[in-house]
Amino acid sequence: MNTNIRPQTVRLIKRILTPLMEEGLISVPELNEIIGNLKHISEKGTLLPAILPKLLTQEESASMLGVGLSNFKKLEREGAFSFKRKMVGTSVRYRNLDIINFIISSDDSSL
């Protein structure tokens, strides 16, 4: 879903909905969800992901892919994955959304 919503439209909708939240007609979490998604659409053109982004260890990443740690490291060295590692200090991490996208877009013969 690629939708163009301008930032000023998001601000206007927030101004319209805030009194409704103050009157108790919509809850604070509902307002935050609506405005958060609208902001993300205006910035990125898509809704917020249903899965929160998170950095995973090599062990967690291997587990998500259903392979052992040593096999995961070997496959990464061979360039089998479309996702890249992120260094956090000296720790190696991977974005969970990148791994999920890899799983969704890969055919069964990838691994």
21-72 tens-digit pLDDT: 999 999 998 998 899 889 888 888 888 778 888 999 999 999 999 999 999 9
User: What per-residue confidence (pLDDT) applies to 8?
Assistant: 94
Residue 1 domain-assigned?
Answer: no
- Tokens standing for residue 28: 């604070």
User: What per-residue confidence (pLDDT) applies to 92?
Assistant: 96
Do 65 and 59 form a contact (C-beta atoms < 8 A)?
Answer: no
For residue 92, the enclosing domain spans: 55-105
- Tokens standing for residue 22: 């103050």
Do 14 and 35 form a contact (C-beta atoms < 8 A)?
Answer: yes
Residue 50 domain-assigned?
Answer: no
Mean pLDDT of the 6-12 span: 94
Residue 100 domain-assigned?
Answer: yes
- Judgement on whether residues 13 and 36 belong to the same structural domain of the protein: yes
- Tokens standing for residue 79: 């360039």
Regarding pTM above 0.75, the answer is: no
- Judgement on whether residues 38 and 63 belong to the same structural domain of the protein: no
- Judgement on whether residues 59 and 99 belong to the same structural domain of the protein: yes
**What beta strand segments (E) does 1-111 contain?**
55-56, 86-88, 91-95
Distance CA(29)–CA(16), nearest Å, equals 16
- Judgement on whether residues 62 and 96 belong to the same structural domain of the protein: yes
Question: Number of structural domains, the chain?
Answer: 2
- Judgement on whether residues 39 and 61 belong to the same structural domain of the protein: no
Q: SS3 of 94, please?
A: strand
What are the tens digits of pLDDT across the range 85-107?
A: 999 999 999 999 899 888 877 65
DSSP 8-state symbol, 52: P
